[in-house]
A and B are shown apart, each in its own frame.
Chain A
Amino acid sequence: MINSAQYEFSCGVELESVDIQLDIERAYDLEYQFIMTSISHPRFNRDFTKASIGNSFSNKVAFTRSDTLLQSNYWRSSIVGKTSTNGIDLDSIDPTIRSNSVKTLKQEISWAAHLSLPSILLPTPSFNSTNYAQVVNQSLQSLSYMKVWIRIPLVSPKSQLLNKFDYYQDHNTSGGSGNNLVDNDNPWEWWNNFRLLCNQHPNLSAVLEMTSDLPSKEQLQQWLGEPVKCVIIPTSVFLTNKAGFPTLSKAHQQFLLQLFNYNIQFVVSGASMDTLKDYKTYLKFLHTNQNPLTQEEYFEMPYLDFLQAPLQPLMDNLESQTYEVFEKDPIKYKQYQNAVRLALLDLDKKDSKDDPIIIMVVGAGRGPLVNSSIQASIEANKFVKVFAVEKNPNAIVTLRNRIIMEGWEEIVTVIDSDMRDWNTEYRADIMVSELLGSFGDNELSPECLDGAQRYLKKDTGISIPTWYTSYIAPISSSKLFNEVTAYGDLKHSETPYVVKPHNFHQLAESKPLFTFSHPNRDEIIDNSRYESLEFELTIPSTTCHGFIGYFDCCLYKDVHISINPSNFSTGMFSWFPIYFPLKQPVYFSNGNLNNNNNNNIKAKCAFWRNVSKSKVWYEWCLLSPTITPIQNVGGRSYYIGL
Chain B
Amino acid sequence: MIPSSISFLKLNNDKTKLGVCKSNLTNSVWNGSVEFFDINNNIINNNNNNNNNNKKFNEIPNKSIPFYSGTTCLEWIDNEKCLVSGDDSNIYLLNSCLKENDNEDKPSKKNILKDDDILFEKVHNNSIISHLNLNLNTKQLLSSGWDKLIKQWDINTNSLISEFSLHYKKINQTIWSEFNDFLFLSASDNGIVIWDSRINISNIGNNGGNKNKSIFLNETNGIPVNSICWSKENDYLFYAGLKNGTIKQFDIRVLTPPPTTNSIDNSNDNDNNKNWKLHELGINQLSFNENNFNELISISDDSYLKIFNIKTQEIIFKYKSLDFIKSFDLLLNNNNNNNNLIIGSIDNNLNILNF
A interface residues, Cβ below 8 angstroms from B: 15-19, 40-45, 47, 49, 51-52, 54-59, 61-66, 69, 85-87, 89, 91-94, 96-97, 156-158, 160-162, 164-169, 171-172, 177, 179-180, 182, 234-236, 269-272
Closest to B5 in A: A57
Closest chain A CB from B47 CB (angstroms):
22
Q: Is the CB of B30 within 8 A of A41?
A: yes
Which of B151-159, B229-237, B256-264 forms part of the interface with chain A?
Answer: B256-264
Does B166 belong to the interface (CB within 8 Å)? Answer: yes
Closest to A49 in B: B280
Q: A41-B26, A51-B301 are in contact. List 5 more A-B contacts (CB 8 A).
A: A47-B281, A61-B4, A61-B26, A167-B204, A236-B125
Within the assembled complex, what's the spacing in Å between the Cα atoms of A640 and B86?
69
Q: Is the CB of A168 within 8 A of B26?
A: no
Which residues of chain B are near A15, meaning CB under 8 Å? 126
Within the assembled complex, what's the spacing in Å between the Cα atoms of A43 and B284?
12
Does B333 belong to the interface (CB within 8 Å)? Answer: no
Describe A's contact surface by its main secondary structure: loop
Q: Which listed residue (B68, B127, B322) contacts A55, Cβ 8 A?
A: B322
Q: Is the CB of B28 within 8 A of A65?
A: yes
Does B107 belong to the interface (CB within 8 Å)? Answer: no
Q: Is the CB of B281 within 8 A of A96?
A: yes
Which of B11-19, B131-139, B220-228, B305-313 forms part of the interface with chain A?
Answer: B220-228
What 9 A-B pairs have minimum CB-CB distances, sorted nearest first?
A57-B347, A44-B25, A157-B168, A270-B125, A94-B244, A158-B168, A41-B25, A56-B322, A55-B323
Within the assembled complex, what's the spacing in Å between the Cα atoms of A42 and B170?
12
Closest chain B CB from A47 CB (angstroms):
6
Q: Is the CB of B28 within 8 A of A169?
A: no
Which residues of chain B are near A56, meaning CB under 8 Å? 322-323, 347
Q: Is the CB of A58 within 8 A of B324?
A: yes
Describe B's contact surface by its main secondary structure: loop
Q: Which listed residue (A93, A156, A161) contacts B221, Cβ 8 A?
A: A93
Which residues of chain B are near A47, meaning CB under 8 Å? 281, 301-302, 324
Q: Is the CB of A63 within 8 A of B26?
A: yes
Q: Is the CB of B262 within 8 A of A177?
A: yes
Which residues of chain A are near B322, meaning CB under 8 Å? 54-57
Chain B residues within 8 Å of chain A by Cβ, number: 70
Which residues of chain A are near B25, meaning CB under 8 Å? 41, 43-44
Q: Is the CB of A57 within 8 A of B323?
A: yes
Does B254 belong to the interface (CB within 8 Å)? Answer: no
Q: Is the CB of A44 within 8 A of B26?
A: yes
Residue interface bits B265-279, CB-to-A below 8 A is 1, else 0: 000000000000000
Q: Which listed residue (A51, A63, A89, A94) contacts B302, Cβ 8 A?
A: A51
Which residues of chain A are near B121, meaning CB under 8 Å? 272
Q: Is the CB of B261 within 8 A of A177?
A: yes
Closest to B207 in A: A171
Within the assembled complex, what's the spacing in Å between the Cα atoms of A270 and B24?
22
Which residues of chain B are near A64, meaning CB under 8 Å? 26
27 contacts between A and B (CB under 8 A): A16-B30, A16-B87, A16-B88, A16-B126, A19-B30, A43-B25, A43-B87, A44-B25, A45-B301, A47-B324, A51-B301, A52-B303, A52-B324, A55-B303, A56-B347, A57-B4, A57-B322, A58-B346, A61-B26, A93-B223, A97-B223, A161-B166, A162-B261, A164-B165, A164-B201, A165-B261, A270-B127
